[in-house]
Structure 1
Amino acid sequence: MSDISASEYISRQDELEQEARELMPWEPKTCTYEMGPLKQSVFACRSHKNIGLCYSCSIQCHTKCDIVELFTKRHFTCDCGTERDNQEPGEEGFRCQLRKNRESDVPSLTNRYGQNFRGLFCECEKEYDPDSNDTMIQCVLGTECNEDWYHDSCMGKKIPPLESFDAYICWKCAKKYDYYLKRIISHPLGEKIVAHTLAHGVEEDKEDSKPTSGMKRSANEVDSQHNNDEYSIFLKEGFSEKLGELKDSIEDHNDKLYLFLNDLVPFLIKDEPVYEPADDGEDAPDDLVSNVLRNAMHREQAIAGISAFNALKMKLNEFLKPFAETGNVVKEEDIKSFFQRPEETSK
């Protein structure tokens, strides 16, 4: 261990606080259940029936649980403290520690649960690997795949360059809404909306497995190109604006394509805002470091770790105060003497 001045210690503590703000920028004080369905960050709890939690409940109510971050989901209501949540009540009998309800609330009937809530992603059905070099791409349509995420490597060697498209529609959703999407592709505005299409599950050496760049094509040509096989769609930058123009160009508001764009997938034209909790503002250093501990440690260790850290930090600050006031260097033997105190070694 090297010598360190009190000012250096304080500087390092400031760096830790900044890291905490970056990792967990919002105050986990409000459960979103009573706000109803939202586009929000969702966290799956694999310890309790693979339910979906809002940001705050994943931190405050399910601290000891096996949590998987799913990123954003549309039209989702927090499951914490509902009949879907089989976690035992806390010490005070609350089902949700933020809503403080003693009886389980009625769960949302519109929530949709795909494989992501079991911690699995992509066609390969594997867990997220933060050390992988793969790029994961979320399906922007998502009505059939539940907004799943896909590895670029699982899409095959013919995937177009990532910089050549802005959004992705998986083959599952494309198959579900094949009629509407082929009409979009063959529309005069289609070449300004679609960057590429890519046949799914086609052998790599086949010529028709190559991605096709966006161009004006008839519906028959699109059918012929893919031979009614499953295919994915890659959308151009600015596709939302052009889809809006396409919708507005349809005079018959009973037209199936108009109803599809206006009623079923309006988010492709105007994306829903993502709910974000209030910023953490000027949180106390203890709170910020606690957040880092929650993020870095196994959740079953977090509560004990945070409590011990806060107690130790308070005493260490008291010990270092004279050094900071005099500008003296804190030597290794000083730190050793601090931790050899009976009250510290018992921690």
Structure 2
Amino acid sequence: MSEEQTVSLVDVLEEDEELEEEASAVLAGSDSDHCSYPQGYVKRQALYACSSCTPKGGEAAGVCLACSYKCHEGHDLFELYTKRNFRCDCGNRKFADLKCKLHSEKEEINGQNKYSQNFFGVYCTCARPYPDPDDQVEDEMIQCVVCEDWLHGRHLGCVVPDCVELQEMTCESCMNKTPFLWTYATHLSGAAVQVKDETEPNELNSNLPHKEQGEEAEPSCKRSREEAEPSCKLKELQAIGQQRVQSGAVFWPSGWRSKLCSCSTCKERLAAAGSSFLLDESDTVLAYENKGKSSDQRAPGRDPLMSALEQLNHVQQLEIIHGYNDMKTELKDFLQRFAEDGKVVTPDDIRLFFEQQSRKRQRDDAGGFFPT
């Protein structure tokens, strides 16, 4: 008799808790009761786009977590995961007759907001929805740390590392828009090739002008100013003489932002590229999620995550937890049948259950989005 691998109810409940923690990481960092508009351009928050209010062909707009619940109940919403430096658009000029129920005094437009194709429910260089009913290939979606679009792993033009969930990624398009990042990629992400410097050290010295006897030395005040200015890490890396193929997305190692140069020239370079946030390690999605997981601002006796989950039938939230409460009831009934028949629950049984749930959700609310 062959021994079947079994799954205990404890295993199921542990996976259930992991899903709750994943949802908490995204939602707990945002306020589910108050519109974020008064906070201005929030450093990072969970956002949604409403195709009922701003259909394709109209102006792109985004709403905060609280407005997705209070002002857009029953609407077709796209879950955008998180975006940086965004101010809630709900009820402004882009929404015609809809007024924000949580904060009525809003400017007509938020000029500093940045929008992308994501706000119309399409992603990647292939500009397709997720999940895509016409795409039969199982593939993970990975977010670019610069443009914040989500791309299929097979469309990145590089090999996706095994520990992708621990690494930030910059897509090829953004790398080419900020070409100085290729120098960092050469030294921080591998694939470097040594380039021989044809100029010998003594030749370099021979080309330098010789000081004539009696020539005044460089003023000490100028030297002190130069010594006070930190050296440019970028120039030092460029001087090493290594290069890599400049194509495909780049996956960065942990702590890579701390290795970027922060001299005045490089700060200006990053600002000109609209990428000053790269010097801020607290800007990362990981930092945001950790804040959500460890948040102690929860009211006693009330779980804001479960409160949010109860309303997710109107918000196309993270794919696995969409319809969370209904799924728990159906899972209980599913397992009860095995108990009544005295049968063990195998991994294939659990997998079949979740596949059925996934197909049901896709029928009920096509167009949902779950980042992996």
Q: What TM-score range do you get, normalising by the shorter chain?
A: 0.5 to 0.7
Amino acid at match of 1:259: E
* Gap change, CA 1:104 and 1:239, over 3 Å in 2: closer
Instruction: Mark the CA change 1:120 to 1:281 in structure 2 (over 3 Å): closer, same or farther.
Output: same
Counterpart AA for 1:52: G
* 1:325-340 correspondence runs (5 A): none
Q: Determine whether 1:151 maps to 2:152.
A: yes
8 A Cα contact 1:83 1:104, kept in partner: no
The residue type equivalent to 2:48 in the other structure is F
Say which SS state the counterpart of residue 81 (structure 1) adopts. coil
Paired residue secondary structure (2:89)? coil
User: What secondary structure, in the 3-state scheme, does the structure 2 residue paired with 1:111 have?
Assistant: coil
Structure 1 stretches of at least 4 aligned residues deviating more than 6 Å after TM superposition: 18-21, 216-220, 275-278, 287-290
1:82 Cα deviation from its structure 2 partner: 1.0
**Residue 66 of structure 1 pairs with residue 115 of structure 2:** no
Change (3 A) 1:230 1:114: same
> CA-to-partner distance for each residue in 1:8-62, whole Å, 9 max, x for gaps?
xxxxxxx99x969956656522111121111211111111224200111011111
Counterpart in the other structure of 1:135: 140
Q: What letter is aligned with 1:194?
A: S
- 1:31 alignment partner AA: C
Check the 8 A contact 1:81/1:105 in 2, yes or no: no
Whether the aligned pair in 1 keeps the contact of 2:36 and 2:88 (CA below 8 Å) is yes
Q: Tell me if structure 2 keeps the 8 A contact 1:194–1:233.
A: yes
Question: Equivalent residues in 2 for 1:33-44 (5 A)?
Answer: 33-38=37-42, 39-44=44-49
Equivalent-residue separation in structure 2 for 1:234 and 1:151 (angstroms): 14
1:42·1:69 contact (CA, 8 Å) conserved in 2? yes
Q: Give structure 1 stretches of 5+ with no counterpart.
A: 1-14, 90-94, 198-215, 300-347
Does the CA-based 8 Å contact 2:32-2:308 persist in structure 1? no
**2:116 aligns to what?**
114
Correspondence list, 1:194-273, <5 A: 194-195=189-190, 222=243, 226=245, 230-243=247-260, 246-247=261-262, 250=263, 253=264, 255=265, 257-261=266-270, 264-272=274-282
User: Matches of 1:21 and 1:160 in 2, distance apart?
Assistant: 22
Whether contact under 8 Å (2:47, 2:64) holds in the other structure is yes
**Superposed CA offset, 1:191-248 (max 9, x none):** 2x33459xxxxxxxxxxxxxxxxxx7769763xx54xx644222111102211xx33x
| Equivalent position to 2:34, from 30, 34, 45 | 30
Deviation at 1:75, TM superposition (A): 1.0
TM-score, reference length from structure 2: 0.53
* Counterpart selection for 1:295 from 312, 315, 340: 312
Contact 1:20 1:288 in 2 (8 A): no
Question: CA separation in 2, counterparts of 1:54 and 1:278?
Answer: 21
* Aligned residue type for 2:34: T
Partners of 2:41 and 2:310 in 1: CA distance:
30
Measured against aligned partners, the alpha-carbon deviations of 1:245-278 in whole angstroms (never above 9, x if no partner) come to x33xx5xx3x3x3422467433222134559799
1:182 corresponding residue in structure 2:
182
Paired with 2:248 and 2:73, the residues of 1 have a C-alpha distance of 41
The verdict on how the C-alpha distance between 1:133 and 1:279 changes in structure 2, with shifts beyond 3 A counting, is farther
- Matched length: 236
Q: Distance in 1 between matches of 2:92 and 2:70?
A: 15
Task: Check the 8 A contact 2:258/2:281 in 1, yes or no.
Answer: no
Q: Secondary structure at the match of 1:116?
A: helix
**Does residue 81 of structure 2 align to residue 84 of structure 1?**
no
* Unpaired runs of at least 5, structure 2: 1-15, 55-59, 193-236, 317-372
Contact 1:28 1:60 in 2 (8 A): no
Partner of residue 48, structure 1: 53
Q: Secondary structure at the match of 1:51?
A: coil
Asked whether the 8 Å contact 1:139–1:170 carries over to 2, the reply is yes
Residue type at the aligned position of 1:128: Y
Distance of 1:288 and 1:270 partners within structure 2: 28
Check conservation: 2:49, 2:80, Cα contact below 8 A. yes
* Larger relative contact order (Cα-Cα within 8 Å, sequence gap ≥ 6): 2
* Identity level (%): 26
